[in-house]
A and B are shown apart, each in its own frame.
Chain A
Amino acid sequence: MSTFETVAGIIADTCDIGADTITPESHAINDLGIDSLDFLDVAFAIDKAFGIKMPLEQWTQEVNDGKVSTDEYFVLKNLCANIDKLVAAKSA
C-alpha cells in the first residue's frame, strides 16, 4: 500500500470522509475540512502507522513564520512526501 493510500484510509476512517473525495491534491483543511481535533487523531494514526513522530510543532512554526505555505504540509501529496522523508530518516 502506498503512503498516500495509507494516509487517505486514515483520513477516511478518522474523519468520516468518503475515500473517493480524497486525492493527492486535496488540502486537508481547505478541501477536506479537517479541524484541529480531527487532525490530532489523524496525526496520531499516521505516527502509529509509520512509526514516526511528525514534527507538527516545527511545521506549524514554519507556516506561522511565513517560511512555507500550508500547502507544504497539508496538501496530501506533500504531506506524504514529508512522511516518506521521516520514514527514510528513521531507517537510515
Chain B
Amino acid sequence: MRLEYFQMVDRIESLDPDARTVRASCAVPEQSPIFEGHFPGYPLLPGVLMIETMAQTGGWLVLAIQRFVKMPFLMHVKEAKMRSFVLPGQALIAEAQLLHDGSGFAVVKASISAEGKKVADAEIRYGVVAFPNETLRATMLDTARKVGVPKEYYDAA
C-alpha cells in the first residue's frame, strides 16, 4: 500500500468471474506521513482508508467484469464497520463479491481481514460510467498490469 498515493491494493491474488469474487493482498506500510497525524504516538490505519481499500478491491472486480470499458466511481458506502484497529506493518487481505451488476451502477459486499480475523466490512455501490479521459483509462490499465489483474480482462481494452 502507498497510502499517500491512494494505492491501496498491492496484488490481486485471485479473481473469479463465475463466483464474481476478488481477493487482494494489501500490506500496510511501517512508515507513512499519515501515521504522524493518525494518531500521534499511536499510529492506526484510518477507517476511511479501510473503506477506500474495500472500494478499490471491489473496483478491480467491477473493472474486470466490465473488461475495462467503464470505470466504477465510489458513490455509496453502506453499513461500514471498522471492527478492529489496523496497525502499521500488518498484512491485510481484502475481498469483494459482486452483488449486482446494474445498468450504470454496481454493488459489492467487501471485507478486510488481518491474520484471519475480519477487521472491516461494508456494502459498496459504484456509479459505472465511461472513462472520462484517456489518461485515466491508460493509468488504470497500467496499474492493472502492476497489481496482477489477469491479462484476459484487459486484453481487448
Contact = CB atoms under 8 A, between A and B. Distances in A.
B105 interface: yes
Nearest to B106: A44
A58 B104 CA distance: 10
A57 B100 contact: no
A60 B127 CA distance: 14
B135 interface: no
A44 B99 CA distance: 10
Contacts of A48: 100
A57 B75 CA distance: 17
Given A37-B76, A40-B75, A40-B76, A56 B125 contact: no
Interface in A33-82: 37, 40-41, 43-44, 47-48, 53-58, 60
Contacts of B127: 40
Contact of A56 (B76, B100, B102, B107): B102
Interface of A: 37, 40-41, 43-44, 47-48, 53-58, 60
Interface of B: 75-76, 100-105, 107, 125, 127
